[in-house]
Structure 1
Amino acid sequence: MEFHAWAPLFYFPRRYLNLTTCVNNLHYEKFQDGTVKCIEDEIPFEVPEGWCWARVRDIAMVKGGKRLPKGASFSEEITTHAYIRVTDMKNHSVNISNLRYISDEIFSAIKNYTIAKDDLYVTIAGTIGVVGEIPDKLDGMNLTENAVKITNIAINKSFLCIILQTDFVQQQFQDKTHQVAMPKLALERILSTLIPICPYVQQLQIVDRFQICDNFLSTIDTEKEELQKIVSLSKYKILDLAIRGKLVPQDPNDEPASVILERIRTEKEELIKQGKIKRDKKESVIFKGDDNSYYGIHLPDSWNWASLREIALSISDGSHNPPPNNGSGIPLLSAANINDNSILMNEISRWITNEEWKIENQRTNIEVGDVLLTIVGSIGRSAVVQNNNHFALQRSVAVIKPCLINPLYLMHIVQSPQIQKWLTDNSKGTAQKGIYLNALSLMIIPIPPLAEQARIVELIHIAYKQLDLISNALL
């Protein structure tokens, strides 16, 4: 069988291509010991004339990084020795804003595991296949054991960086990854990865074109981020206007909020007599002062302030000691399942039995029209229960049962910037902040006429729908 080696398109110091093409147009690999193997089934696609296939080992060397010595830790101060971690490897470069550093002593122990500005990095543990270049200022810095450096590169470094980012190379990385608790990509498997190579001048042209496209896409991404910020700011402003009574026009024919609050008190007294709810011995009535102001806001004349406990039949939270995950049955929701004014029933991670749900639901008695509010961790997200589907809650979510108040209005108004700040200011804790129910019940809410509540909800719905269309189009 006769083989024709490729014509020299560029020079490879101290190494040569092992791949040749047979006259029958099949791809073969010729090894240094003279043996030949057909690798046609490994070649993913045909390359243009003048290009060739090679393995990474034919054009570069791959060397590992190094973990800190046992018992060693990062320096509290900036030193001359940065330690590049996987978390620092961003946008195919290195993010220097949160670099960690090591002392001269620790550097001496791992000084053979540095990476140079002429090298590339590839992540090999956990997150597999992230590739990037090293900024000049990080030349000679230490490299984590969760990445390798590709060094002694015989082709254009930036061209190789582009090739290693492509889908077919990334798929090779994934196919070669050990599927264990933490996925790991072995050095030898990187070395055996197939890549296409073109003439050197064409490599430079590809890098140049790629950079133009990448800059253009980066500009688009930046503009998308700015537009997303505008969408968020617009929602923020809508809620700011809503809590001030400036979102919709006032209607003098509306029944004033003071009448609604009086009806709420009457309704709650009747329910207390019937034994359906218990009297809140700490409940009080808020009267208008001279300035009628909370949060620095002066309400319209037809509005009133009220505490949450004044307008709610009850305020409770989910289980403090939830049952273990049953794998199926009744969903057990946490704060993570409350977002974007919705209850995310398609992202359930814990389940309990029907009997366990009956016990848990005695605490909250969740019903249609209840307002759910996250009170631990990510505080202040809210949603309204819209159907009778059974679910239970963990402690991170509170259940508010509004009395004669539009639940959708309450859902939106607690997301206003003023009340969000109040929730933050009144939360407690160190590792994870939360707000106690007693404190939550004292939260002051602006109450507009009932008809105006409906108008506010409708206008927010219309505005949010258009803003969400814009936001979704940016994804």
Structure 2
Amino acid sequence: MDTKQLRQKILDLAIRGKLVPQDPNDEPASALLARIKAEKEELIKDKKIKPDKKSTKDKSHYQNEVPFEVPENWEWVKLGYLCDYGKNEKASPSQVNENAWILDLEDIEKDTGKLLKRVHKNEKETKSIRNTFKKGDVLYSKLRTYLNKVLVADFEGYCTTEILPLDFNGFVVPEFARHVLMSNYFLEYTAKCCYGVKMPRLGTNDGRNAPFSLPPLAEQHHIVSEIERYFALIDEIEANKSDLQTAITQTKSKVLDLAVRGKLVPQDPNDESASVVLERISKEQKAQKTTADKFHYPFEVPDGWVWCKLGDILDIKSSKRVHKSEWKKSGIPFYRAREIIKLAQNDFVDNDLFISEEHYCNQ
């Protein structure tokens, strides 16, 4: 079971309004937008914020073709209208308290958005400018967005400038916003917009104009509760899957150990002795005698078995390197070290590497 895809399926249903039933008594998202607009106008009037001169007359609604249909009481909104995307208070290293939480990208687990470790300034040296964030902010990584690192801050602190603290001012449930930003739909949007080859990042303007499916506030809470319930079940499945995989690996190891010690199946006195088989191999190879007596035996084996060196029963030789120019779409399959390691770890290997029969014979 691919639990990663299962999580994304749940998020997809959630942001399309299909995870929980619609309640006709909920205040529609349009009323929520009206309150946001009124609050912004009041703040502009009090000169607490400046009007966005770059915005069009319709500053809230997403004007392009919507990515998908949503329920009637939902609205498509620009992300930058719901939060001050990219407008963050910064702090120099000298302004950061020694006990302050310092968050870097490597502290967040990819795809799950879980906090891997909480580090304070007195535990690591920091010389760079930081973005400040407070409890409840959605911490969004604009760098390499495909890693899907999004976190809701449970405490105030300072983060790298590659992480943007997003304050939705109570109009969007932070956990709901986090799930939207981690959905495949949003990942696909950022993949189209990101610039840079080695370290792609989402530009501020593209982030502000990103389409955001906004449900009524009450429904946001219901959606978050359902997502958390389903994700808890998936976590349990993953834990059980991990325990099962460990048990399978241990069982395979034990079976192989019993097999090489001659304890897996009963011995048949009518079977041809391994010493006879080894003698026959030695004659075929024109060897004078077996070299089995020249090394230490790791453990005792049944009477019908015999210890020998690997080279006594097969030919071991080095092969030529297979260059990419010699790879074929069909022919003799071959494995590189990476595929052999996966096979040794009981991983699935979908091998599609081949060489010509002529190349194989010349090895």
Residue 115 (structure 2) pairs with residue 94 (structure 1)? yes
State the match for 2:102 in structure 1. 82
> 1:135 Cα deviation (Å)?
5.2
C-alpha change, 1:217 and 1:158, in structure 2 (3 Å) is same
Native 8 Å contact 2:59 2:81 kept in 1: no
Native 8 Å contact 1:81 1:141 kept in 2: yes
> 1:257 Cα deviation (Å)?
0.8
TM-score (norm 1): 0.54
Residue 40 (structure 2) pairs with residue 15 (structure 1)? yes
Residue 140 (structure 2) pairs with residue 122 (structure 1)? yes
Residue 42 (structure 2) pairs with residue 42 (structure 1)? no
C-alpha change, 1:318 and 1:262, in structure 2 (3 Å) is same
1:288-346 per-residue CA deviation (whole Å, 9 max, x = no partner) reads 99xxx51xx3211111111212323x322234xx4754275598752123343798641
**How far, CA to CA, are the matches of 2:109 and 2:149 in structure 1?**
8
Q: Aligned with 1:42: secondary structure? A: coil
Native 8 Å contact 2:103 2:157 kept in 1: no
C-alpha change, 1:133 and 1:87, in structure 2 (3 Å) is closer
Gaps of 5+ in 2: 1-28, 42-53, 93-97
Residue 318 (structure 2) pairs with residue 317 (structure 1)? yes
Moved more, 184-193 or 166-175: 166-175
**How far, CA to CA, are the matches of 2:60 and 2:166 in structure 1?**
26
> 1:57 Cα deviation (Å)?
0.6
**How far, CA to CA, are the matches of 1:86 and 1:33 in structure 2?**
37
| Higher-RCO chain (CA-CA 8 Å, sequence separation at least 6) | 2
**How far, CA to CA, are the matches of 2:136 and 2:69 in structure 1?**
30
* RMSD, aligned CA: 4.1
Residue 59 (structure 2) pairs with residue 58 (structure 1)? no
Residue 142 (structure 2) pairs with residue 142 (structure 1)? no
**How far, CA to CA, are the matches of 1:10 and 1:236 in structure 2?**
65
**How far, CA to CA, are the matches of 1:169 and 1:8 in structure 2?**
22
**How far, CA to CA, are the matches of 2:108 and 2:335 in structure 1?**
34
> 1:198 Cα deviation (Å)?
1.9
Native 8 Å contact 2:137 2:153 kept in 1: no
- 2:302 aligned partner, one-letter code: P
Q: Aligned with 1:298: secondary structure? A: coil
**How far, CA to CA, are the matches of 1:343 and 1:158 in structure 2?**
38
Gaps of 5+ in 1: 17-30, 70-77, 273-278, 366-475
TM-score (norm 2): 0.69
State the match for 2:21 in structure 1. none
Moved more, 213-222 or 174-183: 174-183
Equivalent residue for 1:284, pick from 287, 291, 302: 291
C-alpha change, 1:324 and 1:246, in structure 2 (3 Å) is closer
State the match for 1:300 in structure 2. 302
> 1:146 Cα deviation (Å)?
4.4
Native 8 Å contact 1:121 1:148 kept in 2: yes
> 1:211 Cα deviation (Å)?
0.9
> 1:165 Cα deviation (Å)?
2.4
Residue 352 (structure 2) pairs with residue 346 (structure 1)? yes
> 1:105 Cα deviation (Å)?
9.8
**How far, CA to CA, are the matches of 2:60 and 2:218 in structure 1?**
31
> 1:215 Cα deviation (Å)?
0.5
Native 8 Å contact 1:116 1:140 kept in 2: yes
Native 8 Å contact 2:132 2:157 kept in 1: yes
> 1:267 Cα deviation (Å)?
1.4
**How far, CA to CA, are the matches of 1:219 and 1:53 in structure 2?**
34
Q: Aligned with 2:236: secondary structure? A: helix
**How far, CA to CA, are the matches of 1:228 and 1:105 in structure 2?**
37
> 1:191 Cα deviation (Å)?
1.3
Q: Aligned with 2:316: secondary structure? A: strand
How many residues align? The count is 307
C-alpha change, 1:33 and 1:226, in structure 2 (3 Å) is closer
C-alpha change, 1:232 and 1:323, in structure 2 (3 Å) is closer
C-alpha change, 1:346 and 1:100, in structure 2 (3 Å) is farther
Q: Aligned with 1:190: secondary structure? A: helix
Native 8 Å contact 2:274 2:306 kept in 1: yes
**How far, CA to CA, are the matches of 1:122 and 1:237 in structure 2?**
46
**How far, CA to CA, are the matches of 2:224 and 2:276 in structure 1?**
71
State the match for 1:112 in structure 2. 130
> 1:142 Cα deviation (Å)?
2.6
- 1:164 aligned partner, one-letter code: L
Counterparts in 2 of 1:387-466, with a 5 A limit? Answer: none
- 1:6 aligned partner, one-letter code: S
State the match for 1:446 in structure 2. none
- 1:151 aligned partner, one-letter code: D
**How far, CA to CA, are the matches of 2:180 and 2:61 in structure 1?**
23
Native 8 Å contact 1:117 1:133 kept in 2: no
Native 8 Å contact 1:177 1:183 kept in 2: yes
C-alpha change, 1:57 and 1:261, in structure 2 (3 Å) is same
Q: Aligned with 2:237: secondary structure? A: helix
**How far, CA to CA, are the matches of 1:36 and 1:343 in structure 2?**
51
Q: Aligned with 1:238: secondary structure? A: helix
1:381-421 per-residue CA deviation (whole Å, 9 max, x = no partner) reads xxxxxxxxxxxxxxxxxxxxxxxxxxxxxxxxxxxxxxxxx
- Aligned residues with identical type, % of pairs: 23
**How far, CA to CA, are the matches of 2:76 and 2:138 in structure 1?**
20
1:29-67 per-residue CA deviation (whole Å, 9 max, x = no partner) reads xx96646999665212332233222111111123399xx
**How far, CA to CA, are the matches of 2:216 and 2:60 in structure 1?**
25
- 2:313 aligned partner, one-letter code: I
